[in-house]
């Protein structure tokens, strides 16, 4: 049976083969593993790859509506605010909150003893953290609420830099007043209309930013959707080498209900025997070196699918999940760190980061109008 990842392997090897011709013939390298020598080459090659990706995507046009729903709504069969109600019965009854994954990574619940210990351990260190987000088109209406809420709840007492990728810098006028040790940097991005366009461009833009000056300015970087609001404390417990957040609508569901990509033609394809959790693309991060690797590899997978005229159903989230299957995160955040109210979302002890965009998608048409979604 043909492996759905074969094409991704071929693409990746073709892209990286040139700087690694002196490899030993018998040396086996997995899909994304790199040798120490290759890592040195990557430092020179990666910026060129990113430039190529930007050129490729900038030269293509894709028409899409800003009003289109998030792709996962389409995957789940949600139309006009209607949810597949029968899926809510698939939740497990176990009320215990797991503290660790099967591979030993901590599963973070903000008020657990482990999180209290991690905050105490890391809070006194001089940690520099970046929060990277994309603000284009009508999403500009969310930026101030996002920043004000982050100032109140995101890593209080730590040095934080907000990196705002935007097509309209005037969105930030007048500038939001920030606390001591916190700053904001605005990075110009070309206009990206609609979800389809964002799916092909956002990872590439993030990759360009991380291979630029950001990598020298912070120790950790987190990527977040702008249509979110911090509603509870988010502290040092979230820090790790590679951090992923559990999708609240699939946290307590069996593996066969995860909306992994199943098109064999897609480089995001996941086999039936793969995958432990389904992660959201609303909030993820880690140390700069790990995040550079993540956004670059996801960009390459997206590039291959775009060239083959294939689109993963979950868009960016599909590629992120493909990557996190191959590179299990060292820290897994519970749905407390990405939550919205719907018949499918898991119960959490405390809400900390709420997706306003996906919350609106969970409403019916009447409630959407009432809430001015």
3-state secondary structure (DSSP) of residue 58: helix
pLDDT of 310 > 60? The answer is: yes
What is the structure's pLDDT at 29? 36
What is the structure's pLDDT at 201? 81
| Protein fold of 64-86+101-370 | Spore Coat Polysaccharide Biosynthesis Protein SpsA; Chain A (3.90.550)
* Side-chain-side CA neighbours of residue 177 (13 Å): 0
317 labelled ligand-binding:
yes
In whole angstroms, give the CA distance from residue 252 to residue 277.
9
Confidence of residue 330 (pLDDT cuts 50, 70, 90): very high
pLDDT of 36 > 70? The answer is: no
Q: Is 317 a catalytic residue?
A: yes
In 215-356, at which residue ranges do the beta strands (DSSP E only) sit?
220-224, 228-230, 242-246, 279-287, 331-333, 353-355
End-to-end alpha-carbon separation of the chain, Å? 45
What is the structure's pLDDT at 356? 87
Could you please report the per-residue DSSP string of 148-164? HHHHHHBSTTSEEEEEE
Q: What are the Cα distances from residue 19, in Å, to 42, 167, 248, 284, 290?
A: 8, 35, 41, 30, 20
225 labelled ligand-binding:
yes
Residues 249-304 pLDDT 10s? 999 899 999 999 999 999 999 999 999 999 999 999 999 999 999 999 999 999 99
What is the structure's pLDDT at 18? 41
All residues at 6 or more sequence positions from 51 whose CB lies less than 8 Å from its CB, including other chains: 208
By mean pLDDT, which of 32-46, 265-279, 328-342, 348-362 is the weakest?
Answer: 32-46
Which residues are 160's β-sheet partners? 129, 182
pTM of the model: 0.76
Residues 154-208 pLDDT 10s? 999 999 999 999 988 998 889 899 999 999 999 988 765 665 666 678 888 999 9
Share of the chain above pLDDT 90, in %: 52
Compute the Cα dihedral for 84, 87, 89, 94 and give only its sign: negative
265 labelled ligand-binding:
no
Residues 207-262 pLDDT 10s? 999 988 888 899 999 999 999 999 999 999 999 999 999 999 999 899 999 999 99
Confidence of residue 12 (pLDDT cuts 50, 70, 90): very low
Catalytic residue among 297, 316, 317, 336: 317
67 labelled ligand-binding:
no
pLDDT of 319 > 50? The answer is: yes
In whole angstroms, give the CA distance from residue 21 to residue 10.
15
What is the structure's pLDDT at 5? 47
By mean pLDDT, which of 8-17, 95-104, 182-191 is the weakest?
Answer: 8-17
Average pLDDT, integer, range 351-368: 74
Average pLDDT, integer, range 19-41: 43
């Amino acid at each position: 049976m043909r492996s759905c990842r074969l094409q991704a392997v071929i693409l990746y090897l073709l892209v990286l083969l040139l700087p690694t011709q002196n490899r030993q013939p018998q040396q086996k390298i997995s899909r994304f593993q790199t040798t120490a020598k290759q890592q040195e080459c990557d430092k020179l090659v990666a910026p060129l790859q990113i430039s190529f990706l930007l050129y490729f995507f900038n030269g293509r046009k894709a028409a899409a509506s800003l009003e289109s729903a998030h792709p996962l709504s389409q995957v789940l069969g949600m139309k006009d605010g209607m949810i597949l109600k029968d899926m809510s019965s698939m939740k497990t009854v176990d009320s215990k909150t797991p503290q660790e994954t099967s591979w030993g990574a901590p599963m973070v619940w903000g008020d657990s003893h482990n999180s209290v210990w991690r905050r105490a351990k890391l809070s006194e260190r001089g940690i520099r953290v970046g929060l990277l987000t994309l603000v284009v088109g009508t999403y500009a209406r969310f930026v101030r609420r996002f920043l004000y809420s982050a100032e109140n709840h995101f890593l209080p007492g730590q040095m934080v830099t907000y990196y705002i990728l935007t097509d309209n810098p005037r969105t930030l006028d007048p500038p939001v007043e920030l606390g001591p040790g916190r700053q904001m940097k605005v990075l110009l991005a070309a206009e990206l209309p609609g979800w389809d366009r964002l799916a092909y461009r956002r990872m590439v833009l993030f990759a360009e930013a991380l291979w630029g000056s950001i990598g020298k300015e912070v120790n950790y970087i987190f990527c977040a959707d702008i249509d979110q609001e911090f509603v509870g404390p988010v502290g040092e417990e979230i820090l790790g080498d590679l951090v992923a957040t559990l999708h609240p609508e699939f946290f307590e569901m069996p593996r066969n209900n995860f909306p992994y990509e199943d098109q064999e033609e897609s480089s995001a394809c996941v086999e039936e025997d793969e995958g432990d959790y389904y992660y959201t693309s609303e909030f993820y991060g880690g140390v700069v070196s790990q995040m550079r690797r993540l956004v670059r590899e996801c960009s390459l997978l997206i590039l291959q699918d775009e060239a083959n005229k294939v689109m993963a159903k979950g868009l960016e989230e599909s590629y992120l999940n493909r990557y996190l299957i191959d590179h299990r995160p060292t820290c897994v955040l519970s749905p407390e760190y990405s939550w919205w109210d719907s018949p499918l979302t898991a119960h959490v002890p405390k809400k900390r980061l709420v997706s306003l965009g996906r919350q609106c998608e969970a409403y019916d048409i009447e409630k959407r109008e009432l809430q001015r979604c």
